[in-house]
Every structure is written in C-alpha cells, then in structure tokens.
A and B are shown apart, each in its own frame.
Chain A
Amino acid sequence: MTGDEKLIEIKNLSRIYSMGEVKVKALNNVTLDIKRGEFAAIMGMSGSGKSTLLHQLGLLDTPTSGEIIFRGKNILGLSESRKARFRLEKFGYVFQEYALLPELTALENVYLPAMALGRKKEDYIKAGTQVLEQVGLGTRLYHRPREMSGGEQQRVAIARALINKPDILFADEPTANLDSSSSKQIIGLFQKLNKEMQLTIQMVTHEPDDMKYVSRVVWLNDGELSIEKYEKLII
C-alpha cells in the first residue's frame, strides 16, 4: 500500500526531558521517513520513546533538536497558532483513552474539528454523520461518550480524526483499553482506512499481534531507532 512519496522526513530528532538535575533522553537522534499511504506500527518496550516520537510527529510536543519535514517544509518552525491549524487540517489523532469531550454527543465530538475549520453547518453535520456511519456508529449519533462502550468511543475518536480528511493519522495505543474483540474491530478499521482511502497511519502499539496488520514496523529501543522492519500486509 505504500508509495515512494515521502510524507514526513524526520531528521536527527531528539527529545530530552529535564527532571531537576537529571536529563532523560526520551528520543535520541532519530532519523526516519514516513511514506504516504503506509500503515506503520511504532513498537518498543515501555519507556522506549514510542509515544514521545508520536507526540513529536503530531506536533503535540516540541523536540529538543532535529527537524520534522512535512512535504518538504520544516513544520517545527511554525508558530503555536499555525501548528494548531496544521494539526487541524493535516493530522488526525486517536488516543489510548479515547479523549472525547463528555459534554458532547458522538456527532458533536466528531464534527468539532470540521466546525473549527470553518465549514458550513449543514456540511459538517453531513460529514460527521457520514464518517460515523463509516465507522459503524450511524445509530449512535446523539449518544454521549458515557452511554457508549470503550470500543464505540474509540470509533468515535477515529471518526473525529477522519472528519477533516487528514494526510496522516496518529494513533497512540488505540487498543490498549479495549477487549480483544473491540481491538480487532479498531485495527480492522485502520486497515480498511489505509487500504481504501490510502490513509497514512502511524500507530504506537505494544501488542506483537498488531504487527501482522501493518505494512511497516518501526522499533525503538531507549529512544533510538532499533530496527526498521517492513512486512507485507497480512489480511
């Protein structure tokens, strides 16, 4: 499914956290390319820096050094406001804890980023409804997060990530809180999105089983790129 076009180039990326006198290298000089249309799993032991890498890629955090080049442009130099806009337009996020707003219905949670983009009301409601139908929640539009199961909430989060048609979707251990059946549904959904929409997906996971669903595995060990492994998509 992957093409040769580089979507993101990561060059010498480091993230060092200061904890008093102690400096912890969460990421150490990582250089990596992300190709358009790939479905990659970022794996490693706990504390290996996989979530940190995803946060840097998703502009949720600022690396200590290095470059993140998105389609030829270093996006680390953007102002906070431009970064917010960039995240809104280009990126989609799925977090481990679903990260939905409890006051909003499923539909409102989903169309919020579209609303922020300035789309017309009828447009974002229609798009929100469609994308929720796409993830199999067409009958749960007006339910609030607490009225839904974990798997359903995660699918709402995926729908929210998709509403603005992002170039890349970042998923941070999206199945960690789910039972095996819901986990399979979510991974299957990612596969489908990657296959049918050529959506680039970077997913942090600690589940070895997930490797068989992805086209590429990026291994991290103590903040350094350990092995880059490409595998054929196994359906």
Chain B
Amino acid sequence: MFNNVKLSLFLASRSMMKGNKSTQLLIIIIMSLIFVNLVFIGSIFLGVTEATNNQVINSLYSNVVIEPKTDEKYINDVYSLEQKIKGVPGVVGISSQYVTGATLSYKDKHGTWTVRSINPDNEMKVTTNYKYLIAGKYLSRLDENEILLGKEIAGGYGGDIEYNSLGVKVGDNIDVLFNNGIKKSYRVKGIFDANFIQTNTMAYISQKEMESVVGLENKASQILIKTRDNGNEDRYIKQFLEMGIKEEIKPWTVYAGMVKNITNSFNMISIMISAIGLFVAVITIFIIVYTSTVSKRRQIGILRAVGIEESIIIQSYIFQAIFIVISGILIGLIIIFFALKPWFIEHPLKFPIGLASLMILPERVSMNAISLIIAALAAGFIPSWLAVRKTIIDAIWGE
C-alpha cells in the first residue's frame, strides 16, 4: 500500500516536473482564484450579516430586551427591576427607555419617526451611538428641551433617505408632536451617524424630558440589557426568568428579522456561487487530467504492460490533481490573508445596515478547501479511470 503510494507520487512528481511549467502555473492560479472566490463570497456575506447583527446589538437593542407584559403598555416598577437585573453576574449595563412615535417638523418639512427617551449615562453602557456624533453634543441626564437626531432625520450628512429629512443643523429648533397630542419645541443638541439606517432614523431625548411629556415615572417601554458576552443571551434570559421577572424577555435576535432574511438569502447565494465555483474547478481539473491521459495514453499502456497496477496509475493522476488544488489553495490563502483581508479592514464596504468587512471563519475556509480537494479527487479519478479501462493493446498501439 505504502509502496503503491510512493510509486504514484514518483510518477506524479516526474510528470509535473517535466510538464509545461507556465501551463501548470496558470492552472494553479485558476484554482487559487476559484478558492479565493469560494472563501470571499461566503466571508463577505458573513461580514455583512455580522455587521448587521453588531449594529442591532450595539446601536438598537443591546443583548436582551425586557418588554411590558402582553396586555400592558409599560413596564412598571422599573427601578426595582433594574436593581434585580444589576445583580446578575455578567450584566454590564441597563438602559430603561420610553419609546414613542412622534411627528417632527421644521419649517415646511415634517416626518414621523421613533423617539426614544434615555438616561444618557445608562445608555452609554448599553449602546455605542454616543461615539458616532457627527455634529453637536450627546445628551445629558438633565437636558430639557433638547433633542438628539439621527442623520437621516437631520439631513445634510449624506443619508440614504435625505428626501425625507428635515434639513436641520445643531442649534435649530424643531417642533415635536407626540402621540399623546402634546407638542413641544426642541433645540437640536447633536446629530449622530451610527452607520445603521434603523438607528439613524431615530431621535433621543432625556428620560427626564420624556417623563414631563408623558406624565409617567418609574415606568418604561423597554429595558435594554447589555451582557459581557454576545451569544449567551438565552443563558441570561433563563436567569432573569428564574428571578421571577414576569415581563416579556427577548434576545436581540427576535428584532433582527430583517437580518435573518438577509442571512438566509446570502447563504443561498453563497451556496449557489460556491457550487458554480466547485463545478468550474471540477471541469477545469477534469479537462486537464483528461487531456493528459489522452496525450499519455501510450505511456499508460506501457506502464500497465510492465506490470504497474492500474490503481497506481490512477493515483498518480489524482495526486497531480491534488497538487494543483493544494497549490491553488495555498496561493489563495496568501491572497485572502495578506491582500484581501487587510484591504477590507482598511476599506470596509458601506451598506445601509452598517460597515461590513470580510468575516473569515477558519471552519468555513477549511470546508471550502476540503470541498475543493474532494472535487479534485473526483475530477482526477474519472478521466484516469477511463484511461486505464482501455486494453493494454489499444492503449499502446490503438488509434
């Protein structure tokens, strides 16, 4: 067995060494590009999905959201609930919010957007929007009559839906008509760009201000909870439930329906493109090996005549195919990790859902490499197997 492998490797290596070097290099480059394509498509889609997920967590909902019980409009006794939650190990921030719809208007322009009220000190532990101010300042806990606008509401900062924007700058006064009919004038204190269209279409006022508007205290529409780690939301939710919290407790993922749809679509596109890539790889290798077996038909016959087993000859072609593919994979890895990845870190792609870079998962890379190697096995085996099916006489002396 070992001797057969050794002999196959010997035949394969001699064939490769004496073959046309530029053709081999070209084929290896084709394989590397196929591999890069396999990894790249999956990684960019994964990067977009990951960026979106991060945006949902970092700028909108954090990790876990507590909502009012099914038949209630608000969460009651928020202060004591916050104290309970704070006691759970791993909870690093809590932000209770009132959320309401409101019509914002400036001069002759107006639109309806979501207004969230926050305690800025708490909010900064839960979301990262405070880091993305593009004008003015962030809210303070005691701010009254001041409002923070997403860039899509403010306008003038290259938003995706500017036609709907108010066209205001920091310091301008806008009118806000709340759902309960109260109308107030607010000075624009800051404008932020969270790189996420859903966040950029929201406005923030201080909790104190909102309480004066809605006339409520110690209540909230939702409580956002930031945990130390992402991905373990279910474990935290279980702990909250065990503590006797009766409100609705949801992980951020339930708010990421759009992301789920995107992920599913991306997965499907990724699978289709990967399948096409693998098919191209199989056809390329098949043609290479087939051409080689046709041109070396007589040599194959001679090898068999002198007593070299068919399996050794087949193996030698499979080794050649695997060599091509593995070389392609190695070059592809260099391109991916030393060119594409650094480039995308420097130049992330801008989507309405956020900035996306490549997300290269080692297991995905391994899977793509293995798929390509399996494709090479099949594409190397079939033509060489067909070649040794001929009789020795036909192989050596046939037409």
Contacts and interface: CB of A to CB of B under 8 A. Distances in A.
B307 to A, nearest CB: 3
A152 interface: no
Contact of B306 (A80, A108, A118, A160): A160
Interface residues of A, number: 29
Contact of A118 (B3, B14, B298, B308): B3
Interface string A98-140: 0111111000100011011010000000000000000000000
Most buried by A among B10, B392, B396: B392
Contacts of A81: 309-311
B382 interface: no
Interface string B298-325: 1100111111111110000000000000
B10 A93 contact: no
Most buried by B among A81, A102, A112: A112
B309 A84 contact: yes
Nearest to A111: B10
B264 interface: no
B287 interface: no
B393 A88 contact: no
B18 A102 contact: yes
Nearest to A86: B307
Nearest to B16: A103
B265 interface: no
Given A60-B392, A118-B3, A93 B305 contact: yes
B305 A99 contact: yes
Interface in B280-304: 298-299, 302-304
B307 A85 contact: yes
A90 B303 CA distance: 15
Nearest to A80: B310
Most buried by A among B302, B308, B312: B302
Contact of B7 (A55, A89, A115, A160): A115
Contact of A104 (B14, B307, B391): B14
B258 interface: no
B15 interface: yes
A11 interface: no
Nearest to A118: B3
A35 interface: no
Given A60-B393, A61-B391, A115-B7, A103 B17 contact: yes
Given A86-B307, A101-B302, 8 more contacts: A55-B393, A60-B392, A84-B307, A84-B309, A91-B307, A99-B298, A100-B302, A118-B3
